[in-house]
């Protein structure tokens, strides 16, 4: 192998991503079409049908541009060695262009601490049911449908992945917002992540609201209340307490005004340990520096080898002479 070919091989090995047809340890949260229900673990055509039951629960009516809550419950779960179960929230099951965003929905948060349509949950051995919640901003007026799907591996991880989906979608009628309806302002975006040990001050912007009360809880725990301060017309402020460990806190607002009182969905706020940050530019520079050092060392060894051979040939010629 000549020098140029060897350098090319080294570059490819250093810069190319890891390749593989399966991801037994999951792919992490993300925005994925239903096609990934098989493609993430290999050829989608090799999927086998999961025996689990997948159900989407959502209100039958939602207001255009306002927030609503949707949940996906999976029953009869088949536990696997890793315990990973992937959940998809979808606008249809075509396999492409079928995320909620493709139908005009905007995902604000989910109960796994992100804002993606695909999440992974670790299911304990023997657990047969799990629910994931999404908070969505409704699309334009019209009739909209939402599906859900799951994928998971086999018990020993040696066979094709399993894929399951809702038998029938949930249908939501999106209607215009009544003019005097107490509501959150369209531009309001609830916080979704924070650091352990830090409290969170939320600036709540509303429309047609005369009074606000706030409830919060640790996911599935006891409901508590916090005081709310009126900052200006339709502007409110309140503080959510700090978490001492990584945990998910949920909160919701009760809104009062001239129109019918409204209650927002539960919003999820995930507390995480401080993470180490990596300077990508520095990492790339360091990688290139290591590559250059390797190449220089290789060329030096090759040159020394060539010099040794020449010296040996010269010695032989002198002996013959």
Q: What is the rounded average pLDDT of the residues 182-211?
A: 93
Per residue in 67-111, pLDDT tens? 999 999 999 987 777 788 999 999 998 878 899 999 999 999 888
Per residue in 15-57, pLDDT tens? 444 444 445 556 778 888 887 654 454 444 556 788 899 999 9
Instruction: Give CA–CA dist 147/236, Å, rounded.
Output: 35
| Average per-residue pLDDT for the chain | 82
Q: Read off the tokens for 199.
A: 């409290």
Dihedral, CA of residue 16, residue 18, residue 20 and residue 24, to nearest 10: -160
SS3 readout for 32-57:
CCCCHHHHCCCCHHHCEECCCEEEEE
| 27-177 and 179-275 in the same fold | yes
Prediction pTM value? 0.71
What's the CATH number for 27-177?
A: 2.60.40.10
Determine the Cα angle at 127 with ends 121 and 131, to 5°. 50
Query: What does the DSSP assignment read for 248-266?
Result: EEEEEEEEESSS--EEPPP
Instruction: Give CA–CA dist 68/12, Å, rounded.
Output: 48
Who contacts 269 (Cβ-Cβ below 8 Å, separation ≥6)?
190, 191, 192, 193, 194, 200, 240, 248, 249, 250, 251
Per residue in 285-305, pLDDT tens? 677 777 777 777 777 776 666
Cβ contact 252:267 at 8 Å: yes
Instruction: Please check whether the domain covering 179-275 is classified as CATH 2.60.120.380.
Output: no
Instruction: Give CA–CA dist 33/242, Å, rounded.
Output: 36
Instruction: Give CA–CA dist 147/36, Å, rounded.
Output: 15
Burial class of residue 30, CB neighbours in 10 A (0-12, 13-18, 19+)? middle
Q: Where are the domains of the chain?
A: 27-177, 179-275, 277-320
Q: For residues 167-195, b (16+ Cβ closer than 10 Å) or e, as one string?
A: eebbebebeebeeebbbbeeebebbbebe
Who contacts 133 (Cβ-Cβ below 8 Å, separation ≥6)?
69, 70, 71, 110, 111, 266, 268
Determine the Cα angle at 248 with ends 84 and 41, to 5°. 20
Q: Read off the tokens for 86.
A: 């992937």
Query: In terms of pLDDT, which residue wins out, 279 or 30?
Result: 30
- For residue 206, the model assigns a pLDDT of 96
Instruction: Give CA–CA dist 196/113, Å, rounded.
Output: 14
Who contacts 179 (Cβ-Cβ below 8 Å, separation ≥6)?
208, 259
């Amino acid at each position: 192998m000549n020098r140029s070919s060897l350098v090319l091989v080294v570059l490819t090995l250093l810069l190319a991503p890891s390749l593989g047809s399966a991801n037994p340890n999951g792919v992490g949260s993300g925005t994925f079409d239903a096609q990934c229900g098989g493609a993430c673990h290999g050829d989608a055509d090799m999927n086998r049908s999961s025996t689990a039951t997948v159900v989407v629960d959502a209100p039958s009516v939602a207001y255009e541009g306002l927030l609503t809550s949707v949940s996906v419950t999976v029953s009869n779960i088949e536990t696997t060695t890793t315990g990973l179960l992937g959940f998809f929230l979808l606008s249809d099951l075509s396999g492409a262009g079928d995320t909620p965003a493709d139908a005009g929905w905007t995902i604000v948060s989910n109960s796994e601490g992100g804002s993606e349509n695909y999440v992974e949950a670790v299911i304990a051995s023997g657990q047969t049911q799990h629910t994931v919640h999404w908070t969505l901003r409704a699309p334009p007026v019209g009739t909209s449908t939402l599906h859900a799907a799951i994928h998971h591996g086999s018990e020993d991880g040696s066979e094709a992945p399993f894929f399951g989906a809702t038998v029938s979608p949930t249908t939501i009628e999106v209607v215009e917002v009544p003019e005097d309806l107490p509501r959150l302002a369209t531009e309001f975006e609830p916080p979704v992540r924070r650091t352990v040990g830090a409290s969170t001050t939320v600036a709540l912007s509303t429309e047609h609201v005369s009074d606000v009360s706030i409830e919060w809880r640790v996911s599935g725990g006891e409901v508590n209340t916090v005081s709310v301060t009126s900052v200006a017309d339709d502007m409110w402020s309140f503080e959510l307490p700090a978490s001492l460990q990584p945990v998910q806190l949920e909160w919701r607002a009760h809104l009062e005004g001239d129109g019918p009182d409204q209650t927002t969905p539960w919003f999820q706020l995930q507390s995480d340990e401080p993470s180490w940050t990596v300077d990508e530019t520095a990492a790339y520079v360091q990688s290139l520096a290591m590559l250059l050092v390797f190449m220089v060392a290789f060329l030096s060894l090759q040159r020394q080898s060539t010099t040794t051979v020449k010296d040996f040939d010269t010695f032989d010629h002198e002996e013959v002479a």
